[in-house]
Amino acid sequence: MIKTVATTPYQDQKPGTSGLRKKVPVFAQENYAENFIQSIFDSLEGFDGKTLVIGGDGRYYNREVIQKAIKMAAAAGFGKVMVGQGGILSTPAASNVIRKYKAFGGIVLSASHNPGGPTEDFGIKYNIGNGGPAPEKITDAIFARSKVIDTYKIADAADLDLDKIGTFKVEGMAVEVIDPVSDYAELMEELFDFGAIRALIASGVRIAIDSMGAVTGPYAKEIFENRLGAPEGSVRNATPLPDFGGHHPDPNLVHAKELYDDVMSKDGPHFGAASDGDGDRNMVVGKGMFVTPSDSLAIIAANAKLAPGYAKGIAGIARSMPTSAAADRVAEKLKIGMYETPTGWKFFGNLLDAGKVTVCGEESFGTGSDHVREKDGLWAVLFWLNIMAGRNESVAEIVRKHWAEYGRNYYSRHDYEEVDSDAANGMMTALRDKLASLPGQTFGALKVAAADDFAYHDPVDGSVSKNQGIRVLFQGGSRVVFRLSGTGTSGATIRVYVERYEPDAAKHGIDTQEALADLIAVADEISELKKRSGRNAPTVIT
């Protein structure tokens, strides 16, 4: 039986950089998740009888919302739901399932790299038929709908056993519980030279993959240990847990420090990598070398032909605006297109669909390609291993040679988390107000060449996205960028991105924060960040 339930709207269901993210107690309010899911369905057209993919990163509240989503999909008229066993599907795996089985779309339950647990974060995002995050046109419609919604529909059925693989029925709609790993592992085998990577590992290169108690555990075990022959235990924190085992599943130098220290230690592994909660981010470290995500994108692009899936070369590269320009130099050399988009993977979708770009990346530990329409953490790790095998070089050698050839983009991001929202907004407004006066001004040895609030004109569908971050460009190619996070769940997070280009190989060995010290000081002078936020230092430095 299908029930129509009366509800009252919430006013705070605005999807951010990637979906709606709130604390679990917010999501647990009466009809909160239902309202949002119904608002998604109400914003879509033509899904009658079609397939919806559902999965999540296994965090606290995942199973509860999956049950609701399945029953609501049945009530809305979907013909079939494909759901990962145990409610598990990493973000890139969900993207792959949507594409492979030509589903209408998918619902991914995750708050990515944010912690999980009864008082931590939860999230819902909708992906369209190309497997990628819904574009702004759809997320705007969902938000508008959520503000006025007064009923939702749900099948009055018993909960489904999500742990059993097989096909079931809910109110006439088929529900297929699928193995979340196999389709994804198969795709990776098509893209990369598993024989060469297996030989690399067999030759004694020791790898450590940290799944941080989150979704990539089963994927990494199957790929690295079962298919590539890495010894058991090479994948750590491999069981997805509702609270990620207390880990903050954010693969950066703060939260994946244990792995980093291990790789840097004398007898530790030669190669280390970590993923985030939903498996779309990656951090790569080699002995003596942390790879910045911006460099990772550039190096993957420059060496793409070593991987069988990219042997014909790449069509173009896209990066988010705050990501360093390291990849731009590769695109220039390869004489291929280079696109600068706003932050968030959804902006890459059109470029990928149109065949304008093959690889994309963000400074926030995100890299991916046209194999799916999300960033893909394990894909990047496999790409690095494939490049190491193909060049017979270590991570450090590959990175140093890349800098020697292209120059080095010193780069760092400073995050100020849980800042008072008014203070953060005040800072951005003041910056916008002074944009026009900045060009020509000098700060020590730095002269401002241009300053703007980044606006993106999508070359495929012509849509325009404004206010995507303040850029201050200096003569010589250095720059600072300011933007507010669209994924935080408490207060505001200010992100400051700092970049300096150094062509001289003799100067490639400087400590990053030191190399950027003058720019960091100027960023504070221009924005009055410390004074306005009341903070002395960033919460996280990457």
CB of 39 to ligand VG1, least distance (A): 20
Nearest residue relative to ligand VG1 (C-beta): 112
The full DSSP string for 214-225 is STHHHHHIIIII
Closest CA to 213 of 234, 236, 181, 231: 236
Interatomic CA distance for residues 167 and 171, integer angstroms? 13
Give just the sign of the alpha carbon dihedral 517, 522, 528, 529: negative
Q: Where do we find the tokens 């991914």?
A: 108
Nearer to ligand VG1, 237 or 487 (CB): 487
Per CB under 6 A, the list member of 343, 369, 386, 542 interacting with ligand VG1 is: 343
For this structure, is 43 an active site residue?
no
CB 55 within 8 A of CB 93: yes
H helical segments located in 45-128 = 62-76, 91-100
Segment 460-519, which members bind ligand VG1 (CB under 6 A)? Answer: 485-487, 495
Per CB under 6 A, the list member of 22, 281, 402, 414 interacting with ligand VG1 is: 281
Nearer to ligand VG1, 55 or 366 (CB): 366
Segment 286-325, which members bind ligand VG1 (CB under 6 A)? Answer: 320
Does residue 225 bind Co ion (CB under 5 A)?
no
CB 424 within 8 A of CB 418: no
CB of 377 to Co ion, least distance (A): 8
Q: Looking at 273-281, 282-290, 324-332, 530-538, which segment touches Co ion (CB under 5 A)? A: 273-281
For residue 279, give every residue at least 6 positions away whose Cβ sits within 8 Å of its Cβ, in sequence order, or none.
57, 90, 91, 92, 93, 214, 215, 216, 219, 376, 377, 378
Site string for Co ion, 100-139 (x = CB under 5 A): ------------x---------------------------
CB of 87 to ligand VG1, least distance (A): 18
User: Residue length, the chain?
Assistant: 542
For residue 131, give every residue at least 6 positions away whose Cβ sits within 8 Å of its Cβ, in sequence order, or none.
94, 95, 96, 98, 99, 106, 372, 373, 374
Pairing of strands 121-127, 151-155: unpaired
Per CB under 6 A, the list member of 34, 120, 193, 362 interacting with ligand VG1 is: 362
DSSP-based three-state secondary structure for 59? coil
Nearer to Co ion, 34 or 280 (CB): 280
Nearer to Co ion, 376 or 458 (CB): 376
Nearer to ligand VG1, 142 or 201 (CB): 142
Q: Looking at 99-107, 189-197, 275-283, 311-319, which segment touches Co ion (CB under 5 A)? A: 275-283
DSSP-based three-state secondary structure for 5? strand
CB of 344 to ligand VG1, least distance (A): 5
Residue tagged active-site, from 18, 39, 43, 112: 112
Q: Could you tell which of Co ion, ligand VG1, none binds residue 495, using a CB distance below 5 to 8 A set by kind?
A: ligand VG1
Per-position b or e across 186-209, b if 16+ CB within 10 A of its CB: ebbbebbbbebbbebbeeebebbb
Interatomic CA distance for residues 213 and 192, integer angstroms? 26
Q: Where do we find the tokens 């950089």?
A: 17
Does residue 280 bind Co ion (CB under 5 A)?
yes
Site string for ligand VG1, 83-112 (x = CB under 6 A): -----------------------------x
* Cα separation values, 155 from 53, 138, 151, Å: 18, 25, 14
Per CB under 6 A, the list member of 193, 276, 295, 370 interacting with ligand VG1 is: 276
CB of 278 to Co ion, least distance (A): 4
Interface positions with Co ion (CB under 5 A) = 112, 276, 278, 280-281
List of residues contacting ligand VG1 (CB under 6 A): 17-18, 112-113, 276, 280-281, 320, 343-345, 362, 364, 366, 485-487, 495
Q: Which residues are catalytic?
A: 112
